[in-house]
Amino acid sequence: MAPLPKYLTGDKEGIKKFIDQFDVFLFDCDGVLWSGDHLFEGTVDTLEMLRSKGKQLVFVTNNSTKSRADYKKKLDAMGIPAKVHELTSAHIPHLGGTDPTLLRAITPADHAAIAAGTALDPSVGAVLCGLDFHLNYLKLSLAYHYLRRGAVFLATNTDSSLPSAGALFPGAGAVSAPLVKMVGREPLSLGKPSQAMMDAIEGKFRFERARACMVGDRLDTDIRFGIEGGLGGTLAVLTGVSRKEEWEGEGKPVVPMAYVDKLGDLRG
């Protein structure tokens, strides 16, 4: 049985010991640094404190509503220095997504064109489903027909919920759920906790896993991601989705190494 996590809020000595074990911190974003546009108190100072100790910080989000360039803007606006650590562009052609011509109600002409296949691009080989604040029936219909034609079903992640403005909202898993219902199979999920994501991060940053710590608000994605990735540590925060009751008690499948009430508590 995994030992209970160490509660670090208010434990100056414990916090120092914990931080000293790691060279690299992987930070989940929603529910850890911020809730939507609300930056949590202490986030900026905590990240600066870690940087001043020579720690490398990597931001690892499942949130697909922004490109890395947009995240850089968000971090800049919030006073968090960061580089756009973009993997060299994969040169994968794509359609759909934020295309404004799809932001409308489906029409009888769309039904006919989708059914006849004339609205479908024959070169599409995969449907990638992520968090989409503009999801609609037209996009779902197109995705469904591509899947029916044999496209590979992928998801950025299948998170059930998204923390924003201090509450929970439908997550990317709720976006792919109608398609799962329609095609009767689950997508291959590429975000946390998939180790494909860990391998990509490690390939880019070349860190020693034993000296890295994953900080997150979700047990089933972030903390699991760190544990299954063989990282030296995992730290849960209580400002997002998971509650401490989820790891308290016997036989809990995912238990972080330590937890704090909020990220800012790492300042000691």
Ligand X SMILES: O=C(O)[C@H](O)[C@H](O)COP(=O)(O)O
List the catalytic residues: 28, 30
Is residue 63 a contact point for ligand X (CB under 6 A)? yes
CA nearest neighbour of 241 among 178, 170, 156: 170
Cα 112 from Cα 130, distance rounded (Å):
26
- Local structure of 256: helix, strand or coil: coil
- Chosen residue from 5, 31, 229, 256 binding Mg ion by CB under 5 A: 31
Q: Smallest distance, Å, CB 121 to Mg ion?
A: 34
Cα 58 from Cα 266, distance rounded (Å):
17
Return binding residues.
28, 30, 192, 217
CA nearest neighbour of 234 among 253, 251, 217: 217
In the bound state with Mg ion, the residue whose beta carbon lies nearer, of 153 and 194, is 194
Residues in contact with ligand X, total (CB under 6 A)?
Answer: 13
Question: ω before 193 within 30° of 0 (cis)?
Answer: yes
- Chosen residue from 35, 43, 46, 61 binding ligand X by CB under 6 A: 61
In the bound state with Mg ion, the residue whose beta carbon lies nearer, of 176 and 220, is 220
Q: Smallest distance, Å, CB 51 to Mg ion?
A: 21
* x/- track of binding to ligand X for residues 155-174 (CB under 6 A): --x-x--x--------xx--
Cα 93 from Cα 107, distance rounded (Å):
27
- Chosen residue from 15, 26, 27, 28 binding Mg ion by CB under 5 A: 28
Using an 8 Å Cβ cutoff, are 114 and 141 in contact?
yes
CA distances from residue 171 to 62, 64, 132 in whole angstroms, order as listed: 10, 10, 9
Is residue 239 a contact point for ligand X (CB under 6 A)? no
> Which of ligand X, Mg ion, none does 159 bind, CB closer than 5 to 8 A by kind?
ligand X
In the bound state with ligand X, the residue whose beta carbon lies nearer, of 46 and 157, is 157
> Which of Mg ion, ligand X, none does 46 bind, CB closer than 5 to 8 A by kind?
none
In the bound state with ligand X, the residue whose beta carbon lies nearer, of 19 and 161, is 161
Residue 237 contacts by C-beta under 8 Å, 6 or more apart in sequence?
A: 31, 32, 215, 216, 217, 259, 260, 261, 262, 263
In the bound state with Mg ion, the residue whose beta carbon lies nearer, of 176 and 242, is 242
Cα 192 from Cα 156, distance rounded (Å):
9
- Chosen residue from 8, 24, 29, 266 binding ligand X by CB under 6 A: 29
Interface residues with ligand X (CB under 6 A)? 28-31, 61-63, 131, 157, 159, 162, 171-172
